[in-house]
Amino acid sequence: MAKIGVLALQGAIKEHIQQIELLGHEAVTVKTSDNLCGIDGLILPGGESTTIGKMLERNDMVEPIKAMAQQGTPMFGTCAGLILLAKKIKDFKTPHLGLMDVEVERNSFGRQVDSFEVPLSIPSIGDELTAVFIRAPHIVSIGEHVEILATYEERIVLARDGQFLGCSFHPELTDDVRILEFFIGMVNEFIKVPR
Ligand code: GLN
């Protein structure tokens, strides 16, 4: 059983917790840096990246999360969470955590349609996954070690950079747990590595 932390400052938190528990793992609500202690992986949920970013600073959580990343802890960002993880945010001077080697653009699927759902086929994960996009970002460019896992309308919407998984959409808002299972696979690989 893995211990998965869910950053719980703002956004879609309980849906991630429910999915983690549904898969038989332990979910840890992470509101302070003390809560990071002992977790095997961290999920950064969707919400509003500017708000969550400010709260991370205010709660002195930026450096502790970076230190965990330095130790190899897997991290999964969905939507705003992807923006928090990214090394670059288009049209913004500074990143939030600046960990995953991608550049993202915020609110990049047009303003008329704030949210929509599409079925996606993701070769390394499965077919017919329902992707829920809500004022979603997309990945505009990637570093050389980043693996593209899914695209939608020729835009990168799911990618992996070693220990980091970043997703434009909200897998936790469906009852399909395959992307979370994929992340837990990454966590299990990490747990096996002697530390
Ligand atoms: N538009 C939000 C942002 O820029 C992300 C939206 C979401 O997480 N659903 O932070």
pLDDT by residue (tens digit) across 133-173?
A: 999 999 999 999 999 999 999 999 999 999 999 999 999 99
Residue minimizing CA distance to atom 5 of ligand 1: 80
Amino acid in the structure at residue 164:
F
> For the domain that residue 120 is a member of, what is the CATH number?
3.40.50.880
Ligand 1 closest atom vs CA 81: 8
For 63-99, the pLDDT digits (tens) are: 999 999 999 999 999 999 999 999 999 999 999 999 9
Ligand 1 closest atom vs CA 45: 8
Element containing residue 49 per DSSP (H, E): helix 49-58
* Domain that includes residue 167, residue range: 3-192
Return the residue matching tokens 């705003």: 80
Maximum alpha-carbon separation in the chain: 49
- Structural domains counted in the chain: 1
How close is the Cα of 46 to the center of ligand 1, in Å? 6
73: closest CA among 151, 143, 165? Answer: 165
Question: Is residue 172 annotated as part of the catalytic site, yes or no?
Answer: yes
Identify which of 55, 76, 107 to mutate to test ligand 1's pocket (most ligand atoms within 8 A of the CB).
107
CA distance 10 to 14: 10
pTM, full prediction: 0.96
Contact status, residue 28 vs residue 22, Cβ threshold 8 Å: no
